[in-house]
Amino acid sequence: MDHRDPVTDFYKEQLPEAELKNNILTAQCPFCEQHGRTERGTLVVFLNRESYFHGYFRCLNRCSPGGFPLHFARQLHLALRLVPWFDPDRDYTVSQVDYPIKNLNHEVLDFMGKLTDEMISRFTEMGIAGEVLKEMQVGYNGRYLVYPYIQEDGNCYSAHCVHPDRADDTFWYGDESFFSEQFRIFNVEELMRCENGSLIIVEGEDNLLTLKQLGLPAICMPSAAEFIHLSSDRLAWIKTVFICVNHNPESETAARELATRIGYKIRLIRWPDSAPRHYSLTQLADEKGKEFQKEVFNLIREARSFSPFSSPEREFLHFQEQFNLEAGESYQTMTSGFSKLNKALGGIHGINIMGGLPKAGKSCFFIQTATEMARHKVPVIYYDFENGRQKIYQRTLCRLSRLTTQQIKTGRLTDDENSRLQTARTELKNMLPWFRVVTDRKLTPKLMRSHIDFLRHETNSDYTLVVIDSLHKLPFKDFSERRTGIDAWLRQLEAIRDELNVSFLIISELTRGDDGQYDSQPQLGAFKGSGDIEYSADNAMVLLPKWDPFGSDPADKRHNDLWLVASREHGPGLIGSYRLDYPYWGFSEE
């Protein structure tokens, strides 16, 4: 497997003398001389691929604001096509605003020069150093602190003036046409610097300054109430957006409303329940001092995604509760090791449709395949209209532990069996972030896309497996429209496959012959209800049992043949023979 990282390769190529240690690349800053610094500072690049700030660079000398690879390339005047994930079809120019000739740039410098020792001490108590105030061009007019709202062209046309002791005593200064909501983003240039990366949104300028002190990329609006005016288009090219607001119901409601509009890329930073009302980053910085950085990174690490799913923890707890309530019928589960299937199909790619006789084990086969892929950290969404999530989870638990449901429920286990059960529970719990079961019978293609977008982003993966059990139970308007409804779904699945790099495993029913029996010869025409399967499926398979459902064959002697009846890239024929792994509702490949 190729573990090369294009972002790391990009920075190494541009900074050939740099040293990489503990996922941090250090080099002499190539920008200090451009900004008039006599001594070159140290440039650091964060290259932990599991971090949301992967690829973020900044100069420790604060010669210029940091950012992600596209901003790095612009600063060095490189061709953007050299940058990982550069989109040649996108317009990377600054937003088209008719900026006036007159600006406040000279007045901003004058206000900066009027910062008194008392005002500087005010910021020092919050851990904000003079270098940050200079970088953000914060000033003072003798009574009010002046925060310049520099626009995307690099000039200032309006400033927010805030009384240092009364946060609600504020006014706007400068060109009135730049007082409107669309221009009320402090540090707005950060949006371009953070393209294809991560960004933090806070309320209030002082809260932003605490993050800039830590070197984190952030923007702010004067208050959370103004989040409503932040267009989702402004954040379209940001990969992950963190929102941190003051600890009060009004601000938190505004954050959730913004998250609802923006969608899956949002992660909400939440204060501990013990935090006092109206608690903010500035208060945290004042209280924690040198521990402030550690506290902030803990908050970021624990930030919750704005998820359409219930949390994995809740899923696991609910499963455990339901499992303990169930009794009686023994459930079987699945095993792994379908190497012949992978070889026959060249891996699980595209749209794979499998038909089979009733009770042949189609669901069991795909549950086993899906959970094994999820265990290997392939994100899987399982749309189930047959079994229910509880049965899927408990069969998976049995397969992993190789214990029957009845054994687990009775609790009469040997030490070895109990050890296997505890190990299996841990494996199941660890698998759930990668394996999401959806039983919503009001599913739509739009909602499916939302689920896929979220899980890809949540797992930081470009690859997703979607299982549909089954094709003929996908929702459509009317039973009389079943044929056209299925074909319409297939068209949507093709689009999702192509646009979102999704692979599908889909269960289909087979049609009966005139005598009411199922055809024992595997063929494409055996699929029920849709002539479009032959056009949509990249691979079409049929699972045929070689045992008599009414016979007396022992359970562990029951075999099924899996046939590839049509494929875009592979020759048809027998894939392999699969034996029922009694008593664990799974198959082993012969």
Neighbouring C-beta atoms of residue 447, cutoff 10 Å: 13
Determine the Cα–Cα distance for residues 362 and 469; give it in Å rounded to an integer.
9
Residues 373 and 405 placed together within one structural domain of the fold: yes
Residues 76 and 42 placed together within one structural domain of the fold: yes
Last-in-domain residue among 288, 305, 322: 305
Determine the Cα–Cα distance for residues 151 and 213; give it in Å rounded to an integer.
21
Model pLDDT for residues 96-132, shown as the tens digit of each residue: 788 999 999 999 999 999 999 999 999 999 999 999 9
The 380-384 sheet, strands edge to edge: 435-438, 380-384, 464-469, 502-509, 351-356, 539-545, 559-567, 573-580, 587-589
Name the helix (H) or strand (E) containing 159. Answer: strand 156-162
Model pLDDT for residues 206-233, shown as the tens digit of each residue: 999 999 999 999 999 999 999 999 999 9
Write out the residue range of the structural domain in which residue 181 sits.
105-305
Residue 1 domain flag: no
pLDDT band per the 50, 70, 90 thresholds, residue 529: low
Q: Three-state DSSP class for 400? A: helix
Residue 94 domain flag: no
Of the ranges 218-232, 272-286, 425-439, 496-510, which one carries the lowest mean pLDDT score? Answer: 496-510
Determine the Cα–Cα distance for residues 95 and 112; give it in Å rounded to an integer.
28
Amino acid (one-letter) located at 185: I
Residues 53 and 130 placed together within one structural domain of the fold: no
> Which residue in the block uniquely carries the two structure tokens 């068209």?
491
Residue 439 domain flag: yes
More reliable by pLDDT, 268 or 513: 268
Give the count of domains, the chain. Answer: 3
- Can you spell out the DSSP letters for 325-365? H--SS---------HHHHHHHTSS-SEEEEEE-TTSSHHHH
Question: What pLDDT, on the 0 to 100 scale, is given for residue 238?
Answer: 94
Exposure class string for 362-373: b at 16+ Cβ within 10 A, else e: bbbbbbbbbbbb
* Residue 398 DSSP symbol: H
Question: What pLDDT, on the 0 to 100 scale, is given for residue 532?
Answer: 64
Question: What pLDDT, on the 0 to 100 scale, is given for residue 483?
Answer: 65
Residues 338 and 288 placed together within one structural domain of the fold: no
Closest by CA to 99, choosing from 159, 150, 160, is 150
Q: Which residues contact 14 (CB under 8 A, 6 or more apart)?
A: 30, 72, 76, 78
For residue 561, give Cα distances in angstroms to 86, 374, 404, 579. Answer: 47, 25, 25, 9
Last-in-domain residue among 251, 282, 305: 305
Question: What pLDDT, on the 0 to 100 scale, is given for residue 328?
Answer: 36
Whole-number percent of the chain with pLDDT over 90: 59
Residues 155 and 253 placed together within one structural domain of the fold: yes
pLDDT band per the 50, 70, 90 thresholds, residue 317: confident
Residue 192 domain flag: yes
Question: What pLDDT, on the 0 to 100 scale, is given for residue 519?
Answer: 56
Residues 247 and 378 placed together within one structural domain of the fold: no
Name the helix (H) or strand (E) containing 519. Answer: none
Is pLDDT at 336 greater than 50 in this prediction? Answer: no
Is pLDDT at 171 greater than 90 in this prediction? Answer: yes
Is pLDDT at 32 greater than 80 in this prediction? Answer: yes
Q: Determine contact, residues 12/48, Cβ cutoff 8 Å.
A: no
* Token pair of 235 as six digits: 């954040």
Question: What pLDDT, on the 0 to 100 scale, is given for residue 38?
Answer: 84
* Token pair of 349 as six digits: 């790619």
* Token pair of 221 as six digits: 């609006």
Last-in-domain residue among 257, 279, 305: 305
* Token pair of 441 as six digits: 């019978």
Residue 91 domain flag: no
- Can you spell out the DSSP letters for 354-397? EEE-TTSSHHHHHHHHHHHHHHTT--EEEEESSS-HHHHHHHHH
The 56-59 sheet, strands edge to edge: 19-21, 24-28, 42-46, 56-59
Residue 114 domain flag: yes
Residues 361 and 227 placed together within one structural domain of the fold: no
The chain-wide mean pLDDT, for the chain, equals 87
Residues 375 and 268 placed together within one structural domain of the fold: no
Amino acid (one-letter) located at 50: E
Model pLDDT for residues 122-132, shown as the tens digit of each residue: 999 999 999 99
Determine the Cα–Cα distance for residues 289 and 241; give it in Å rounded to an integer.
26
Closest by CA to 37, choosing from 120, 116, 134, is 134
Residues 449 and 576 placed together within one structural domain of the fold: yes
Q: What is the CATH number for 161? A: 3.40.1360.10
Residues 263 and 378 placed together within one structural domain of the fold: no
Model pLDDT for residues 337-361, shown as the tens digit of each residue: 478 988 888 888 889 998 887 777 8
Is pLDDT at 327 greater than 50 in this prediction? Answer: no
Question: What pLDDT, on the 0 to 100 scale, is given for residue 304?
Answer: 85
Residue 477 domain flag: yes
Peptide bond into 583 cis (omega under 30): yes
Residues 111 and 191 placed together within one structural domain of the fold: yes
Residue 574 domain flag: yes
Residues 292 and 336 placed together within one structural domain of the fold: no
Model pLDDT for residues 65-76, shown as the tens digit of each residue: 999 999 999 999
Q: What is the pTM of this model?
A: 0.62
174 phi and psi angles, rounded to 5 deg: 120, -145
Q: What is the mean pLDDT of residues 296-320?
A: 81
Q: Longest C-alpha distance within the chain, in Å?
A: 95
For residue 112, give Cα distances in angstroms to 32, 129, 170, 186. Answer: 22, 14, 18, 16
How distant is the alpha carbon of residue 35 from its chain centre? 37
Question: What pLDDT, on the 0 to 100 scale, is given for residue 569?
Answer: 87
Q: What is the CATH number for 327? A: 3.40.50.300
**Terminal CA-to-CA distance of the chain, rounded, Å?**
27
Q: What is the mean pLDDT of residues 36-54?
A: 92
Secondary-structure percent of the chain, ordered helix, strand, coil, rounded to 5: 40, 20, 40
